Amino acid sequence: MNRLQGPLMMVLSMGGFALQDALIKTLAQRIPAGEISLTIGFGGALVFGLMLRRRRLPLVSRQAVRGAVLVRNLAEVFAATCMILGVALVPLSVVSSILQAMPLTVTLGAAVFLGEPVGWRRWSAIVVGLVGVLMILRPGAGGFDQLALIPLAAVFVLSARDIATRKVPPGVASLQLSFWGFLALFPSGLLLLALRGEGLVAPDALEWLMLLGATVFGVLAYAALVMATRTGSIAATTPFRYARLVFAMLLGVLVFGERPDGWMLAGAALVVLAGLYTLMREIAVKRR
């Protein structure tokens, strides 16, 4: 069971994030996206804040506004803004397909900004993956949706967050990063309200239930992700990140009536294959 725990937690995590996205998409048709961000941010920060207090760790420290931690927290703000807006306005299957390019953009960013060595094979995989993203977006084609650039922006900002995370001092606890990550949804929510010229509304009982569900799924998915990365090897768990694409496509088709076309499916396949190949090369290099 121990060998299966990491992959199982990763699958559960990806399923939780996909369900959260589906609830956010449904809610965005009923209440302002900024209000969704504020509510989820409050719920998640409350949960992780209580966990910090239980472990006698500080909620706020000077490190939150210094160096890599500051960059990470700022990236969280803009990533949350792009993600919630993207999920609200773009088909779920498209958002999830584009998000699968993250391992490639993280590798690209680590090579450019951190000086990590990347061989020609991984550079080739990055190019192939980006071609897959272009197949999903199809710029210049009749079916091009400019709104799909929003989740693409999220990919680059999330990659910046992950790269900054590698430089976070060891003394900063994961719980603190999680707490600050959910706090980042507050400025994100205010930014969304300002950008869309919307104000807060009073959710009805069903909307409160969906907001609660989105918060719970988000917190549990994050907790499962942490468990997956701590209990399983990278080689065993990382490939199961792509389960999110499967869950998102199923929800998109069954719940929102989406119909992914051949170009999008082929592009998503290229992105996934390129990501898996990059992972294999990274593992091979580390074993030398």
Using a cut of 0.75, tell me whether the model's pTM lies above it. yes
Cβ distance 181 to 162 under 8 Å? Answer: no
Q: What is the pLDDT of residue 140?
A: 62
Q: Spell out the per-residue pLDDT of the chain, length 288, in tens.
A: 566 788 898 899 999 999 999 999 999 999 999 999 999 999 999 999 999 999 998 888 777 777 888 898 899 999 999 999 999 999 999 999 999 998 889 888 888 888 888 888 889 999 999 999 999 988 765 666 889 999 999 999 999 988 888 888 888 888 888 899 899 999 999 999 999 999 999 999 999 999 999 999 999 998 888 788 766 666 667 788 899 999 999 999 999 999 998 899 999 999 999 989 988 887 777 776
Q: What is the pLDDT of residue 267?
A: 93
Q: What is the pLDDT of residue 189?
A: 96
